[in-house]
Amino acid sequence: MKIKISIILICLLAIPGAFSQTTPLDAASIARVKKGVEEAALRTSTIVAGFTQEKEMSILEEKMRSTGKFYFKKERQLRWEYIKPYSYIIVINNDHITIKDEQKINSFDTRSNKVFGEINKIIVGSIRGTLLNDPQNFRTSYFNSSAAWIVKLVPLSAALKSSLKEITLHFDKKDFSVNRVEMTENTGDKTVIIFTDKKLNQPVANEKFILR
Task: Between 32 and 116, name the residue whose CB sits nearer to another protein.
Answer: 116
Task: Between 55 and 152, name the residue whose CB sits nearer to another protein.
Answer: 55
Give, in order, the Cα–Cα distances in Å from 49 to each of 45, 52, 174, 175, 193. 13, 10, 17, 15, 12
Minimal distance, residue 1 CB to another protein, in Å: 47
Q: What DSSP designation does 149 have? A: E
Task: Between 116 and 144, name the residue whose CB sits nearer to another protein.
Answer: 116
Residues that bind another protein (CB under 8 A): 53, 55, 57, 59-60, 64, 80, 82, 85-86, 88, 90, 99, 101, 106, 108, 112-116, 118-119, 159, 162-164, 183, 185-187, 189, 191, 193
User: What does the chain come to in residues?
Assistant: 212
Minimal distance, residue 66 CB to another protein, in Å: 8
Minimal distance, residue 122 CB to another protein, in Å: 9
Minimal distance, residue 199 CB to another protein, in Å: 22
Task: Between 30 and 92, name the residue whose CB sits nearer to another protein.
Answer: 92
DSSP string, 161-199: HTTEEEEEEEEETTT--EEEEEEEETTS-EEEEEEEEEE
Compute the CA torsion angle 129, 131, 132, 135 (nearest 10 deg). 150
